[in-house]
Amino acid sequence: MVHVAAVCALSLLTIVVSAQYDMVKEYTGQTFFDDWIFYNNFDNLTNGNVNYLSAKDAASQQLAYINDRGNAIMKVDNTTTVTYPNRRSSIRINTKDRYTIGTLWIADMLHAPYGCSTWPAFWSSAPTWPSGGEIDTFEGVNQVTMSQMGLHTADGCTHTNTSMQTSTLINSTDCSTAANNNEGCIITTPTTASYGAGFAQGGGGIFVTEFAATGISIWFFTRASVPDALQGNASSIDPTALGTPVATWNSDGCDVTEFFEPQSLIFDISLCGDYAGNSNSFYQTCTGVCYQDWVLGDPSNYDNAYFEVQHVRVYGQPGELTVIGSDAPRTTVTVVLLIALLGLSVFTLL
């Protein structure tokens, strides 16, 4: 039995090392919004000055729709004059399915929101926040010119190793929501093509997030630098073909199996709130008062406050449970845990 167990463990270990991912879900075209949940509430989570609309209202007000090019549009209301003390309409959606450790997801965006008071993000979270973890793939505020990537977790997760990433712009290293006013462990994407007007003028780009037991990694590719591995309708992805990621949080500083549960993917656009409206952030690139001068101001302030998304694709490791439906129990079995259950050490196997 020990011999059989060793063979099984080696097989599992091979999956970890080869790290090939096969497509398990695609959000694209006319059915893009079918498997997302619209938040349908005011921003009671980050104190933004927005009302997130239901799917019905978002469609009728043309804030969430599929454009003539077949791409998904999610936007802030840029036609209504808002009066005090009201909020401006916007969008927040999350996937019905959740994705386990051992998945990789891709967001191909042609345009992302920017401008004073805006706070857009493409990210993921577990239902049990913060104990289940949060991964911020794309985030920015106001008129900054580079996007940020980061993690938010329970106490004990840190960013400790920079040797396997290209960005040297390390904003903070403690991922705990209890540290530094929940700043998270943040890394800046080191190019002005990753956010704002630069992102739009370059035709957007592709963000890739690997959610693995060995660590969490995020890549960004400008439209002009998309690698062959991401061209076309790729049915499988080998992350080794993507080069060095922009940011990596290795398991030596943050045990992914301890700090993360299955994740729902999220797009949202808030206004002002805890981040964009914070004076330390707002006055770096904007003037006036966030709510009074922008949210209540000329609605054309938000002409650039929209996502245009070609597709979101999710990939999973072959033979692994990677998709958990919205009504399924929150349980995850990972390769590392399976090896542990077999009573074998990775180092012994090597």
Residues involved in catalysis? 134, 139
* Chain position carrying tokens 């959000």: 27
Task: Please name the amino acid found at residue 165.
Answer: Q
The span from the CA of 223 to the CA of 193, in Å, is 9
Bridge-partner residues for 148, per DSSP? 139, 188
Bridge-partner residues for 245, per DSSP? none
How many Cα atoms occupy the beta-carbon half-sphere of 295 within 13 Å?
Answer: 26
Encoded tokens for 81: 């004059």
